[in-house]
Chain A
């Protein structure tokens, strides 16, 4: 066996175990964390570009799992997020009075593992059809988790996600009929700039833009993410949208870089810029905390798209590529931290609005500190992984003379400061100490750990750059996949 298979298989095994254990399902987490941590470390130790074809078939027939820089970074970040969010959720999703299997305390845990396994599959697979399955696993879990908050939002999410999936699947079918393979690495060698390929790429991109909630296809995200319970929101915003993004990355930079017109990259860049500005302005206008954080996700996803033309122009130098992937990682950690902190604060004051946070910095200093540290990373201020990412992107933009992208990066940071300091200002307001309903000292550790990690990764910049440098686009072409069985 290789860690590549196990990283997908183990969460699914835990899903089944959780399903079968009913009310005790949540305790599987204590086994899942060491197992997944071990596998993740193993993955990080694998040589660059290690690949492995599942089931012993050779490539056009078999399905390849591969550990490149992006996959390593994203799987590791997902493991950290999922583990910490899971620990936080142990209390929130405990079996209550309702002992039916649809009760949140039972239903959350299988979905949690489904999401984890699906995300890992999405990051590791190079097979477009398998990626579709991964995408569906993640979407299914995500929709069900969103439904725990608001059925209406979940239904909307479901319908839109379905459209996205179908668009993507249509593209996969077109490619298969054209090339008789759906493996990314093989497609990269054969890609022809014909109409069918371009149509396939266009519809798949549209589908993935929906999944990644890129402006203007983001409409489903804020209501779904804002309404879900805090741990679910954290997983949705941190992990789910990244799966669509990584697949998009694979399509554009790995499978079809040869046939992509600069105009297409420019278009994605513009969408990203609009997402940053629109998402930030919307976040500023919100007066409920979770909606604010959810719109912040729309804005932060924008940076990832904004980086597309920069990455393409900077071919080989790697700065923009590293900036983009580090941004995805930093956002994962910081946004999960922020949703968990928001959940704790709102629960403590039993409200939803920013003004309910009045004076909370005195009643729950550690939770507010976690929110603040996560905000530092999201605003792209030093010292944090978010700053590193933004700095690398800014440097790439300036070197390429992309004045507009540079301006969006800087203005986006300022707008983020405007919307993120709003809740913080409420938390610092007044001089009395509000009485809070429930203090959860243990659970406070979860957002704090995630936020501290997002900040302290700012000191490990070169290590992250080195990991991402293993991506095919960044440096010399990937070596032939070597078997690590």
Chain B
């Protein structure tokens, strides 16, 4: 039975995907019920696995799809970190999406691909070999495209085109890298890094660049970040999912896997590849924050903020040190919770009051206090104010920088935090302290139930942001889990 658990966990969303595609629009209520109940079921399954993995039991399912090529799904601690995040946020995002779209037309397709997206993200997390990882990574690209172009207007189509060009080119580079590496050392399972000694350094370096470059596209590393701000044309629930769990996280997750499970930290440090990547990540952090300051559109500002924040993970992973990797792993979760809060709030503001740009925010705190409170917690988290989750991330990353003899990391973190404050605090100031503008008078009549469903998810993730920071030392907190991963394998 346990052997099939990984399979069940990955392919569970396939059922609601098919049902969503098949159900006609007039049965939308059923679609909502089924989507939410499957999300709950998955969360329960993940909870069960968390308990068993904490005891050190990993389950795996393998199938030889070609001779010499195994398709492996494995529940190791790192996989579960990402899966727990995605299962939790999937539930949240599903509720939010149902409220956001209401009873609009053509939502069957949306929820169908939404589920496929979650399937792919879970598969990415549980992949046990490079080729399995690639299968799901590519599926993720395909499943997100219909979501990006969902609105069908000129802007969305353009965003979809740019998204595909970037991500497919990235995948091609990544595929070239993993096939090349496999031809040298055979199948690579993410259990222990293969023996890479005896392979020319130049080849190893080139393969590393191909793989990290390919993954870096989805993780929005400069200079491959261009698609992410464009993808803002998608509806808010899509942006929330894209930025918090699905696409950018798959890229960041893959980079951590590359460094720790494919090459291994010893090889990466020996080849001297960690520092250049850390510098690139640092540059991305500053560049993203800098561009965010200049945006006037709220969603665009959040998008550049994602460019910056995801690179914290890459920075921590490439510094190679106990504190740094803990910071990276914990930020993988924290960034997801905080960013989804911000995006869901931005979507709610737009959906309910038509607020799109920073200037429209004046006095919004009075009209939508819960939404703006959640937004504020998310923003403070991004800046890194204690006791939010963001503080825990930055604290560990900073310590990691010192530990790895890279004091410049402190400067990057400080600079970025300053810029974060610079682009988030004016929003909070406007929303809470300025008098409402004339525009706010036109607040739409709010339907009670829908409204609560739209605002509740953001409130929950905002509370989670606080909890992840305040209760960081409790068992099963993201920080404790990150420490478990680091101790169980990544610090050898």
User: What residues of chain A have their CB less than 8 Å away from a CB belonging to chain B?
Assistant: 359, 361-362, 365, 376, 381-383, 388, 391-392, 394-395, 398-399, 406, 410-411, 413-414, 417-418, 421, 425, 428-431, 433, 459, 461-462, 465
- Contact A461 to B65, CB < 8 A, known contacts A394-B179, A413-B172: yes
Q: Indicate whether B439 reaches chain A with its CB closer than 8 angstroms.
A: no
Cα distance, A376 to B164, chains bound together (Å):
13
Cα distance, A359 to B109, chains bound together (Å):
13
Residue of A nearest to B173 (CB): A410
Pair A414/B142 contact, Cβ less than 8 Å: no
Cα distance, A429 to B164, chains bound together (Å):
16
Chain A residues near B179 (CB, 8 Å)? 391, 394-395, 398, 406
Q: Choose one: A361, A417, A433; the contact of B164 (CB below 8 Å).
A: A417
Chain B residues near A430 (CB, 8 Å)? 152-153
Pair B139/A383 contact, Cβ less than 8 Å: yes
Q: Choose one: B65, B66, B157; the contact of A425 (CB below 8 Å).
A: B157
Residues of B in contact with A, size category:
35 or more
Cα distance, A392 to B65, chains bound together (Å):
12
Q: Choose one: B135, B152, B165, B183; the contact of A431 (CB below 8 Å).
A: B152
Chain A residues near B66 (CB, 8 Å)? 388, 391-392, 461-462, 465
- Enumerate 7 A-B pairs (CB-CB under 8 Å) in ascending A order: A388-B66, A391-B131, A395-B179, A413-B172, A414-B172, A421-B145, A461-B69
Pair A425/B161 contact, Cβ less than 8 Å: yes
Q: Indicate whether B168 reaches chain A with its CB closer than 8 angstroms.
A: yes
Cα distance, A471 to B134, chains bound together (Å):
30
Q: Indicate whether B151 reaches chain A with its CB closer than 8 angstroms.
A: yes
B146-183 residues at the A interface, CB under 8 angstroms: 146, 149-153, 157, 160-161, 164-165, 168-169, 172-173, 175-176, 179-180, 182-183
Residue of A nearest to B150 (CB): A428
Pair A429/B152 contact, Cβ less than 8 Å: yes
Cα distance, A398 to B152, chains bound together (Å):
40
Residue of B nearest to A381 (CB): B138
Chain B residues near A359 (CB, 8 Å)? 152
Pair B183/A398 contact, Cβ less than 8 Å: yes
Binary flags per residue of B118-139, CB closer than 8 Å to A gives 1, else 0? 0000000000000100110011
Q: Choose one: A361, A381, A383, A429; the contact of B109 (CB below 8 Å).
A: A361
Cα distance, A421 to B149, chains bound together (Å):
12
Binary flags per residue of B12-44, CB closer than 8 Å to A gives 1, else 0? 000000000100000000000000000000000
Residue of A nearest to B145 (CB): A421
- Contact A382 to B138, CB < 8 A, known contacts A429-B152, A459-B65, A461-B66: yes
| B105 to A: closest C-beta gap in Å | 8
Nearest 9 interchain pairs by C-beta = A410-B172, A382-B135, A461-B66, A399-B183, A430-B152, A428-B149, A398-B183, A398-B179, A431-B152
| B28 to A: closest C-beta gap in Å | 16
Q: Choose one: A410, A414, A425, A462; the contact of B67 (CB below 8 Å).
A: A462
Chain A residues near B157 (CB, 8 Å)? 425, 428-429
Q: Choose one: A392, A406, A428; the contact of B146 (CB below 8 Å).
A: A428
Chain B residues near A383 (CB, 8 Å)? 135, 139
Cα distance, A431 to B169, chains bound together (Å):
29
| A203 to B: closest C-beta gap in Å | 38
User: What residues of chain B have their CB less than 8 Å away from a CB belonging to chain A?
Assistant: 21, 64-67, 69, 105-106, 109, 131, 134-135, 138-139, 141-142, 145-146, 149-153, 157, 160-161, 164-165, 168-169, 172-173, 175-176, 179-180, 182-183
| A293 to B: closest C-beta gap in Å | 19
Pair B139/A414 contact, Cβ less than 8 Å: no
Chain A residues near B131 (CB, 8 Å)? 391
Cα distance, A382 to B175, chains bound together (Å):
12
Chain B residues near A399 (CB, 8 Å)? 183
Chain A residues near B165 (CB, 8 Å)? 418
Chain A residues near B138 (CB, 8 Å)? 381-382
Residue of A nearest to B108 (CB): A365
Cα distance, A429 to B158, chains bound together (Å):
11
Pair A421/B161 contact, Cβ less than 8 Å: yes
- Contact A431 to B109, CB < 8 A, known contacts A459-B65, A465-B67: no
Pair B139/A395 contact, Cβ less than 8 Å: no
Cα distance, A362 to B104, chains bound together (Å):
13
| A205 to B: closest C-beta gap in Å | 30
Q: Choose one: A362, A394, A411, A425; the contact of B160 (CB below 8 Å).
A: A425
Chain B residues near A414 (CB, 8 Å)? 168-169, 172
Residue of A nearest to B180 (CB): A398
| B133 to A: closest C-beta gap in Å | 11
Cα distance, A388 to B66, chains bound together (Å):
9
| A463 to B: closest C-beta gap in Å | 10
Cα distance, A368 to B65, chains bound together (Å):
29
Chain B residues near A361 (CB, 8 Å)? 109
Q: A394-B176, A414-B169 are in contact. List 8 more A-B contacts (CB 8 A).
A: A365-B21, A365-B109, A381-B141, A382-B138, A410-B175, A417-B164, A430-B152, A462-B64
Chain B residues near A392 (CB, 8 Å)? 66
| A391 to B: closest C-beta gap in Å | 8
Chain A residues near B141 (CB, 8 Å)? 381
Cα distance, A427 to B64, chains bound together (Å):
37
Cα distance, A433 to B152, chains bound together (Å):
11
Cα distance, A410 to B67, chains bound together (Å):
22
Pair A362/B106 contact, Cβ less than 8 Å: yes
Q: Choose one: B152, B168, B169; the contact of A428 (CB below 8 Å).
A: B152
Q: Choose one: A376, A388, A395; the contact of B183 (CB below 8 Å).
A: A395
Chain B residues near A429 (CB, 8 Å)? 149, 152, 157
Pair B164/A421 contact, Cβ less than 8 Å: yes
Residue of A nearest to B171 (CB): A381
- Contact A376 to B142, CB < 8 A, known contacts A382-B135, A383-B135, A429-B152: yes
| B13 to A: closest C-beta gap in Å | 15
Cα distance, A410 to B172, chains bound together (Å):
6
